[in-house]
A and B are shown apart, each in its own frame.
Chain A
Amino acid sequence: MSDSKYVIVGSEVDQAEYFLHDDGRIDRDKGADGQPLNVEFVGKLMVDLSRRGPENVSEAELMELEDQLKYALTVQDFSVRTGNAPLSDSERQQILDRTRVKIQFEPRYRLDGHADRNIRLLIVPCDETLDVADKLIRSQGDSKGFRPPLSYEMDKALLMASLKSELVEIAREFAAKGVPGWTQDMQAALETHMSDAVDARCTFRDPTGAPLDDVKNEIMGSPVRAFHRSVGIYATNACR
C-alpha cells in the first residue's frame, strides 16, 4: 500500500458514504434524518465557520467538527494514471481510519494605525500528488483550452448552464453570416436546438431518461448550494 499514489478528497455530492444524524451519530444509513457528509457539507461548514470567526468556535467544537469532516472524505487513487492496481476497499478504509483532519482559521490581525497583518496558509500536498498531474498534463503536449483539475461532471454542467445564453448567442450570430439559402425558420430551429441541447446536457437522468430526483439536479438549480459544494471541493481537493 505504501507505494500507491492516492489523494484524500471530499466526497462528491451524490457519493457520500456516511450520514450525520440529528443526535450526532454518524453511520452509513441515511435513515430519515441523515445529512450526507460530502463536499456540500464541508463547504457549508467552511462558510459558517468563516462567518463566525475563530473567537466564536470553541476548541471542543472544532475537534468535533474535525471528526465529522473525516467522514466526508474519500480515497481516490491514481491507478488509472500510473497503471498500478487500484486500492481495495479495505485498504481505502484503513487509510481513512488513520487520517486526521485539521481545520485552521487563517489569522488576520487588525492593528490601529497600521495595515492589517495576514497569514495565508498555502497547503503543499503530500507525496508528489501534484507531480502526478503535472507529468500527465506535460505528456499531453500543447493544445488550446484546458479543463481545470478541480472540475468534475457537475462543474461542466453548472458552467454550461450558466453559459447558456452566450451559447445561444453564438448560434444567433450565424444569422448575420448571410449564408445563401439560410432561412429565418432554419435559424430559429438552430437556436431552439442549441437551447434544448444545453438543457439536455445539464440534466442528470434516471435510467429511462427522465430528470433524476436527486441532489445533483437540486444543486443545478441552487446557486447557494452549488457555491457550498465548490467551497467544499476547493477546501478538500486542493491537491488533486
Chain B
Amino acid sequence: MPKGPDLHELEDCRYGCAPGPAPALRVPARVSIRGVQPNADPTDGAAYVTRQPPQILLRTTPEWRRQCLTEAAHIPSAYTYLGQLMGHDMGSSVALSSVPHVQRAEATDAVSILGPRRYNLIDNPLTLETVYGPGPMMLSHLYDPDTMLFRLTPGARLARVYRASHDPLSSSDDRPIRALYDERNRDTLMLHELAVAWMQFHNLCARTLMANGASPFMAYAMVRAHVVRVWHGIVRDDVLPRFLHPDIAAIPEEDLPPEWQLDETTLLHGLFRAFHSLPLAAYDLGRHGVHNLADLLKAGYEISEAESDWVIDWPLFFGERPGGPRTGLSASVAPELRAPVSAAAVIALDNTTAIDVRPLRAGNDKIEAAIARLPDPWPARLTPQAIAQDFQARHPASPVRVTSEMIEWGPLFQAVMIEAQLHGQKGGLGPLGSALLRGSIAGSINRVILAPEREEAKDLPRPETMMKLIELVRKV
C-alpha cells in the first residue's frame, strides 16, 4: 500500500518548510514540526515561518559598503566572474510551468502538496553544460557540423554574431544570433570572455587530436571529457581555495560530511546568492580605463560598447599584476544591486523566487545539522544568537541590526554573508558558508561520471588555473 503523506517529513522538506505558528503569531526562537497548526495549509505559506526580505540588501549604505570592502577586498575580481560561470554551470532555474511536459516527481508524498516549482535547465551540473549545451549534433549555430568545433576564430575573445539576411523578403526578425549556448554568459564582458576562453580551449585540444588523425566526433568526445576534467581541477584548486575558510579547506575530501551537501534549490537560491556581495561598482580594466559596472553589463541583443571597445586585462584581474580590482564576501552589496531601479528588480525577483521555491534557511533542521558537523569551536560560535551578538558587538554602527531571528529565518545567503563578514578570512566565506559550498561542489563533481581517459588524450594541455588557460588560448 502506498505510503500516505506524513506531515512530519516537512521538517526535512528541501523547499524550506519550517512548520510553525501562523504568521500572525510571534515566531518562537526555535520552531519545529511539532508546533504545526492543525488547520495550516502548507501550500499557502502559513505553515512555515514567513520569509523575511534580505535586510542587508535593502538597508545597506555607501559608507557601510566602503567599510566592508576595506576589510574584505582580498580576492582578485576575476574570481567573481569565474564563480558566476560555476554558478551558471550548476543551474539555470526556471518555473516548472515553463516546462509543462515534466512530471512532478514526488507525486505521492508530503512534498507533492507543495509540488516542485522550479526546474533546472542544466541537466548535468558542473560538466560545463553552460558552455557546451547539448553538443554539436543539436546546435549548428554554435558548432561547425563538419569539424564539430565551436564556431570561433582562434584567438577571438568574444563569441561570433550572426545576423539574418537584410533581404526584406526574408525573416523580419533582425535580432542577431550569437554563437554562445547560454545567453546568461554574456551578462558582463568579464563572464563573456571567460566562457569563450573555454570554447577556445576545447577547439585547441580538438584540433590537436584531429591533427593526429582523430575523426571530428572522436576528437569532440575525448576533448569534451578532458575539458570537464580540467574544469573540475580549476574549480577545486583555483576557485574554491579563494573562498574557503582555512578550517574547512584543511579537511580531507573523503572526510566531508554528507550534511554539507545542499539540495539544488538551496544551493542555487540560498547559498550562491551570497556571491552577490562580490561585484564591484566599477572596474579598472587597466589600459581600457575604469568603467561603472552598469556599463559592463550586456544591454540587449546588440554588441555593447564594452564588447566592441574594451578588453579585460586578465593578469590584472587575476591579481598576477598589482593594482587590479579586488573584492570579498561581506554583509553588503554593490550599489548596482541595491539602488535604484535595477536593485529593486533584482531583490524583488530573488524574493519572489525564494517564496516560490522555498530554499532552506539557517533555522531548518538540515542546516542546523550541517552546522553541528563543523569542526570545533564553530558549532558553538555559529548559533543564530552567537552570530547576532558577535555582529552587533563588532559592528554597532552597521545600518542593519542583526537579530538571531534574521539569521534563522531570513534568506540563507544573508546568514552566510553576515557569517563571512564576521569569520571569513581574506575575503572568503565563513566556516558554514565554506562547508556548504565545498560539500555541495564536491558532491556535484563526484556525481559526474566520465569515460576513462584514452591514450590519445593524455598529452593534451591541462592548465591548473583559469589564468593559465586564458594565456594558452590567447597565444594562438
Q: Which residues of A contact B (CB under 8 A)?
A: 12, 14-15, 17, 76, 79-81, 83-86, 138-141, 152-153, 193, 196-197, 200-201, 204-210, 212, 214, 216
**Is B1's CB within 8 Å of the partner chain A?**
no
* Distance to closest chain B CB from A215 (angstroms): 9
The listed residue (A80, A139, A153) touching B307 by CB distance below 8 A is A80
Contact A85:B156 (CB < 8 A) given known A208-B62, A212-B282: yes
Which residue of chain B is the closest to A83 with respect to CB atoms?
A: B160
- A153 and B291 form a contact (CB under 8 A): yes
Instruction: Write 24 A-B pairs (CB below 8 A) sorted by A numbering.
Output: A14-B289, A15-B287, A15-B288, A76-B309, A79-B157, A80-B161, A81-B303, A83-B153, A84-B153, A85-B476, A86-B157, A140-B174, A141-B172, A153-B295, A153-B305, A193-B340, A196-B340, A200-B340, A206-B282, A207-B73, A208-B62, A208-B280, A209-B282, A214-B290
A79 neighbours in B (Cβ, 8 Å): 153, 156-158
**Is B212's CB within 8 Å of the partner chain A?**
no
Contact A205:B308 (CB < 8 A) given known A12-B289, A15-B289, A83-B160: no
- B308 and A197 form a contact (CB under 8 A): no
* Distance to closest chain A CB from B304 (angstroms): 10
- B166 and A138 form a contact (CB under 8 A): yes
B303 neighbours in A (Cβ, 8 Å): 80-81
* Distance to closest chain B CB from A199 (angstroms): 11
A86 neighbours in B (Cβ, 8 Å): 155-157, 311
A138 neighbours in B (Cβ, 8 Å): 166
Knowing that A83-B160, A85-B153 are A-B contacts, what are 4 other residue pairs whose CB atoms are under 8 Å apart, sorted by A's residue number?
A: A86-B156, A196-B340, A200-B335, A208-B281
Contact A209:B65 (CB < 8 A) given known A80-B307, A83-B160, A204-B290: yes
In the complex, A204→B296 CA distance in Å?
Answer: 13
Which residue of chain B is the closest to A214 with respect to CB atoms?
A: B290
- B154 and A85 form a contact (CB under 8 A): yes
- A204 and B155 form a contact (CB under 8 A): no
Which residue of chain B is the closest to A89 with respect to CB atoms?
A: B287
**Is B360's CB within 8 Å of the partner chain A?**
no
Contact A85:B292 (CB < 8 A) given known A208-B66, A209-B65: no
- A208 and B289 form a contact (CB under 8 A): no
Q: 4 tightest CB-CB pairs across the interface, nearest first?
A: A85-B155, A141-B174, A209-B281, A207-B280
Which residue of chain A is the closest to B341 with respect to CB atoms?
A: A197
* Distance to closest chain A CB from B215 (angstroms): 26
In the complex, A192→B476 CA distance in Å?
Answer: 52
B282 neighbours in A (Cβ, 8 Å): 204-207, 209, 212
B291 neighbours in A (Cβ, 8 Å): 153, 204
Which residue of chain A is the closest to B304 with respect to CB atoms?
A: A80
**Is B17's CB within 8 Å of the partner chain A?**
no
Q: Which residues of B contact A (CB under 8 A)?
A: 62, 65-66, 69, 73, 153-158, 160-161, 163, 166, 172, 174, 176, 280-284, 287-292, 294-295, 302-303, 305, 307-309, 311, 325, 327, 334-335, 339-341, 476
- A204 and B280 form a contact (CB under 8 A): no
The listed residue (A84, A153, A207, A214) touching B281 by CB distance below 8 A is A207
Which residue of chain B is the closest to A79 with respect to CB atoms?
A: B156
- B156 and A84 form a contact (CB under 8 A): yes
* Distance to closest chain A CB from B132 (angstroms): 20
Contact A208:B295 (CB < 8 A) given known A85-B156, A139-B174, A152-B305: no
- A209 and B283 form a contact (CB under 8 A): no
- B161 and A83 form a contact (CB under 8 A): yes
In the complex, A207→B333 CA distance in Å?
Answer: 11
In the complex, A64→B377 CA distance in Å?
Answer: 70
In the complex, A12→B295 CA distance in Å?
Answer: 15
B284 neighbours in A (Cβ, 8 Å): 207
In the complex, A193→B340 CA distance in Å?
Answer: 8
- B62 and A209 form a contact (CB under 8 A): yes
Which residue of chain A is the closest to B336 with respect to CB atoms?
A: A209
B334 neighbours in A (Cβ, 8 Å): 209
In the complex, A84→B476 CA distance in Å?
Answer: 12
Which residue of chain A is the closest to B289 with respect to CB atoms?
A: A14
* Distance to closest chain A CB from B121 (angstroms): 27
* Distance to closest chain B CB from A139 (angstroms): 5
Which residue of chain B is the closest to A196 with respect to CB atoms?
A: B340
* Distance to closest chain B CB from A223 (angstroms): 21
B73 neighbours in A (Cβ, 8 Å): 207
- A80 and B305 form a contact (CB under 8 A): no
B157 neighbours in A (Cβ, 8 Å): 79, 86
Which residue of chain B is the closest to A143 with respect to CB atoms?
A: B174
Which residue of chain A is the closest to B68 with respect to CB atoms?
A: A208
B341 neighbours in A (Cβ, 8 Å): 197
A212 neighbours in B (Cβ, 8 Å): 282, 290
A153 neighbours in B (Cβ, 8 Å): 291, 295, 305
Which residue of chain B is the closest to A85 with respect to CB atoms?
A: B155
The listed residue (B154, B166, B176, B292) touching A204 by CB distance below 8 A is B292
- B69 and A208 form a contact (CB under 8 A): yes
In the complex, A80→B298 CA distance in Å?
Answer: 14
- B158 and A80 form a contact (CB under 8 A): yes
Which residue of chain A is the closest to B69 with respect to CB atoms?
A: A208
* Distance to closest chain A CB from B383 (angstroms): 32
A204 neighbours in B (Cβ, 8 Å): 282, 290-292
A85 neighbours in B (Cβ, 8 Å): 153-156, 476
B176 neighbours in A (Cβ, 8 Å): 139
A17 neighbours in B (Cβ, 8 Å): 287
In the complex, A138→B303 CA distance in Å?
Answer: 14
- A205 and B166 form a contact (CB under 8 A): no
